[in-house]
């Protein structure tokens, strides 16, 4: 194993240990458990007209919960150690700070995406069974499959921006605020495109790319060398 | 003397418009215990950050074992244990978590990583607290946990920034003795501090830093220096020492001088073995030896000469 690979693996391991010790690991259960349950209740209360609309509603609810997890844990993974200057311990060790940071961002952001996908899978499986197909003539707002993957791009954007801002400001709170702002802007732009009828695959792809760029900034900014 | 394990050549570091280090050059040979003395703001911690790869110099070169700690970080820091400034851990992590993490990054795996972590914890006297959350530890125990992290795997070079910070007097004494023992075992020590007592108790050589410039590089008078300067120690006895007893302490290479009725200053050639022989002479002669330590006063005077009275701490 190369030294960068070892630093990456140890970064993943260290972050998982932190999640376990701080009991934040349980947050990953919220999207796949609370998402489908809450969604099923909403289906009943709102009397959604068809399974497609039910899936769209459920995917939004689950991704909303996963977004909170990605924001919170992404900001903490990048900024919590910096806030207490633990980086002076971590990055004075024989490891690449960038590989270590990349490893540390994988569990929170990858975990939030995985939790969202698990919740989405439950919703997609349950919708045709729980929602009557009587309203099949009512148009569905969005294609559920497109929405599913579009929300993954949204989650990457939120987690990435939160991590990058937390790295820059050395503060998880600031990272969280930046991530929320990015989410509001991205959702607003997407809604505008939807109203205009110009929403396409380019929007979530741009969000995903923005998220990856933000993650790269967080990774590249770790172990900053001039401050 | 082998190739230097630490080397700075013409290093300059500026923050904004302020020059923190100016044309800083020094080298440390394997096995040396070097103190780095200067007032707050002199640039000591910046030097440590440069050495541990946390900062890059604006000008000049930094080398650890011949490697650049920024460009070749893994090799440069492979044999280095560093404690820079006052880091902390998130409160929910335990010292064992940290030590295990460090051990794995130093190449230990599985049970050997756990054993290396436990060994470092025991060495720093925190074995009973290894599984307590960091946030519940006293300041002293927290500091020891961080020092233990630097010591995991017994690296051949230790870079320590104010290691006795936050420790009570007894723990401070214990740590100084431990660091001296570590130095005597051949580990190279670079000790940044503003406490003269830390340097007197641990170091062979001292660098004085003032406003980012090196203003002195000399032997600590109380210890054998690298070029053979004589070591000076003060012996304190439990009761008044009669004049004839002084002769029992003397040897061909050791001169004795009374400081008070119960204390004597001895100056001699040689290192720890010669000091051990001096103690053995005192014990053989039945003298009630109470303590032995570096000659006092000498370093304080030199610090004031180099750094200035208004800067003294």
Q: Does A8 touch chain B (CB under 8 A)?
A: no
Map tokens 């130095």 to a residue: B183
CB contacts, 8 Å: A81 with chain B:
90
The mean of the pLDDT values for chain A is 91
Q: What is the pLDDT confidence band of residue A137, given thresholds at 50, 70 and 90? A: low
pLDDT greater at residue B167 or residue B296: B167
Q: Do B73 and A84 touch (CB under 8 A)?
A: no
Instruction: Indicate the CATH number for domain B6-219.
Output: 3.40.50.300
Q: Where in chain B is the domain with CATH 3.40.50.300?
A: 6-219
Question: CATH 3.30.70.1560 in chain B, residues?
Answer: 231-294
Q: Residues with Cβ < 8 Å from A103, sequence gap 6 or more?
A: A7, A8, A9, A10, A11, A12, A13, A14, A15
pLDDT of residue A225: 52
Q: With contacts defined as CB-CB under 8 Å, which chain A residues touch B84?
A: 88-89, 92
| B231-294 to CATH, choices 3.40.50.460, 1.10.3720.10, 3.30.70.1560, 3.40.50.300 | 3.30.70.1560
Q: How confident is the model at residue B313 (pLDDT cuts 50, 70, 90)?
A: very low
Instruction: Round to whole Å and give the CA distance between A32 and A62.
Output: 7
* pLDDT confidence bin for A51, thresholds 50/70/90: confident
Return mean pLDDT, chain B.
87
Nearest to B224 by CA among B35, B7, B38, B33: B33
From the list A14, A88, A225, the residue facing B70 with the nearest CB is A225
- Within an 8 Å CB–CB cutoff, is residue B305 touching chain A? no
The reported pLDDT for the residue numbered A8 is 95
């Amino acid at each position: 194993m190369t030294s960068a690979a070892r630093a990456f693996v140890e970064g993943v391991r260290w972050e998982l240990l932190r999640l376990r010790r701080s009991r934040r690991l349980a947050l990953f259960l919220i999207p796949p458990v609370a998402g489908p349950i809450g969604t099923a209740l909403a289906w009943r209360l709102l009397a959604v007209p068809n399974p497609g609309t039910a899936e769209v509603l459920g995917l939004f609810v689950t991704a909303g919960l996963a977004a909170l997890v990605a924001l919170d844990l992404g900001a903490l993974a990048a900024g919590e150690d910096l806030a207490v200057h633990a980086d002076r311990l971590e990055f004075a060790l024989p490891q690449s700070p960038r590989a270590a940071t990349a490893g540390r961002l994988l569990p929170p952001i990858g975990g939030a995406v995985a939790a969202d996908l698990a919740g989405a899978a439950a919703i997609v499986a349950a919708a045709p069974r729980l929602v009557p197909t009587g309203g099949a003539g009512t148009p569905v707002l969005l294609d559920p499959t497109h929405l599913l993957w579009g929300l993954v791009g949204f989650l990457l954007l939120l987690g990435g921006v939160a991590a990058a801002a937390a790295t820059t400001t050395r503060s998880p709170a600031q990272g969280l605020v930046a991530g929320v702002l990015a989410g509001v802007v991205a959702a607003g732009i997407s809604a505008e495109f939807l109203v205009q009828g110009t929403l396409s695959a380019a929007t979530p792809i741009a969000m995903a790319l923005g998220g990856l760029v933000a993650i790269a900034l967080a990774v590249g900014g770790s172990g900053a060398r001039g401050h | 003397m082998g190739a230097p394990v630490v080397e700075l050549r013409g290093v300059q570091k500026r923050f904004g418009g302020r020059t923190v280090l100016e044309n800083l050059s020094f080298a440390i040979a394997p096995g040396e215990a070097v103190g780095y003395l200067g007032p707050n703001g002199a640039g000591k911690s910046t030097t440590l950050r440069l050495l541990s790869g946390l900062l890059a110099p604006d000008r000049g070169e930094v080398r650890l074992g011949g490697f650049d700690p920024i460009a070749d970080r893994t090799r440069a820091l492979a044999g280095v244990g560093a404690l820079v400034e006052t880091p902390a851990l998130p409160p929910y992590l335990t010292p064992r978590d940290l030590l295990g993490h460090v051990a794995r990054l130093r190449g230990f795996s599985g049970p050997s990583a756990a054993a290396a972590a436990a060994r470092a914890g025991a060495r720093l006297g925190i074995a009973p607290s290894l599984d307590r959350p960091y946030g519940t530890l006293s300041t002293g125990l927290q500091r020891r946990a961080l020092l233990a992290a630097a010591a995991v795997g017994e690296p051949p070079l230790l870079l320590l920034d104010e290691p006795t910070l936050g420790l009570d007097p007894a723990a401070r004494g214990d740590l100084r003795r431990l660091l001296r023992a570590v130095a005597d075992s051949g580990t190279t020590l670079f000790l940044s501090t503003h406490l003269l007592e830390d340097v007197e108790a641990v170091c062979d050589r001292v660098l004085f830093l003032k406003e980012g410039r090196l203003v002195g590089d000399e032997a600590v008078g109380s210890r054998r220096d690298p070029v053979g300067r004589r070591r000076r120690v003060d012996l304190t006895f439990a009761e008044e020492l009669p004049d004839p007893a002084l002769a029992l302490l003397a040897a061909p290479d050791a001169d004795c001088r009374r400081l008070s009725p119960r204390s004597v200053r001895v100056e001699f050639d040689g290192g720890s073995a010669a000091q051990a022989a001096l103690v053995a002479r005192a014990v053989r002669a039945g003298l009630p030896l109470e303590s032995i330590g570096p000659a006092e006063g000498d370093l304080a005077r030199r610090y004031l000469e180099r750094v200035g009275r208004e800067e003294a701490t």
